[in-house]
């Protein structure tokens, strides 16, 4: 790869790191071509971009954007590296988990690091935590549910009180 091609890859990576708030660094070494193609297809279906690049080019792209912000992920840049870019903070983690379950004998792809909402998660042991991250829409739904709950209870109490008063008014007066 000549210097111009390397610069093109760095620029492409920089645009991806700028476009997406979340990216995962994985190791896909020892996966067969068929398995890689299945992983790519799954990623495509879930709107996750999968890119393979050299570690030095990834590091140069990150350093040129903000070397301090991404400093935590540099130690994960070794071996075979595939990047997963996503708008969703947890979709790549779900893809990796599902891929492993579907291919029971595989421990790959291995999560080396994830950069989610300006936080760095290092190591494959973080995969479970990443699958539990709530998306923006899930958090909004929970907040709305919490806000609606007291109002629903008040309305139910008022309706119940109204029914009791109605029942009391309909009862014949004893003389």
DSSP alpha helix (H) spans, 113-135: 127-131
Mean pLDDT over each residue of the chain, to the nearest integer: 89
Residue ranges making up the domain that contains 80? 3-133
Instruction: Tell whether 120 and 158 lie within a shared domain.
Output: no
> What's the number of domains the chain is made of?
2
Q: Assign residue 11 the CATH number of its domain.
A: 3.30.70.1730
Would the pLDDT of 175 be above 90? no
DSSP characters over 153-167: HHHHHHHHHHHHHHH
Max mean pLDDT among 63-72, 138-147, 155-164 falls in 63-72
C-alpha span between 56 and 151 (Å, rounded): 56
Query: Checking phi first, is residue 93 left (phi over 0); if not, alpha (psi -120 to 50) or beta?
Result: alpha
* 93-103 per-position pLDDT tens digit: 999 999 999 88
| Closest listed residue to residue 117, CA positions, set 109, 129, 106 | 129
| Closest listed residue to residue 61, CA positions, set 10, 21, 19, 17 | 10
Instruction: Tell whether 102 and 140 lie within a shared domain.
Output: no
* 21-79 per-position pLDDT tens digit: 899 999 999 899 999 999 999 999 999 999 999 999 999 999 999 989 999 999 999 99
Answer with the residue of higher pLDDT: 28 or 165: 28
């Amino acid at each position: 790869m000549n210097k111009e091609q390397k610069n093109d890859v760095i620029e492409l990576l920089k645009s991806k790191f700028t476009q997406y708030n979340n990216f995962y660094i994985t190791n896909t070494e020892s996966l067969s071509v068929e398995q890689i193609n299945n992983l790519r297809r799954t990623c495509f279906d879930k709107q996750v971009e999968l890119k393979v690049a050299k570690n030095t080019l990834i590091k140069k792209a990150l350093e040129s954007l903000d070397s301090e912000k991404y400093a935590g992920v540099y130690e994960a840049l070794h071996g075979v590296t595939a990047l997963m870019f996503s708008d969703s903070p947890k979709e790549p983690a779900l893809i990796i988990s599902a891929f492993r379950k579907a291919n029971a004998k595989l421990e790959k792809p291995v999560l080396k690091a994830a950069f989610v909402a300006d936080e760095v998660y290092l190591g494959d042991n973080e995969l479970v935590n990443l699958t539990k991250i709530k998306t923006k829409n899930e958090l909004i739904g929970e907040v709305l549910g919490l806000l609606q709950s007291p109002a629903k209870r008040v309305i139910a109490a008022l309706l119940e009180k109204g029914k009791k008063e109605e029942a009391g008014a309909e009862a014949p007066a004893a003389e």
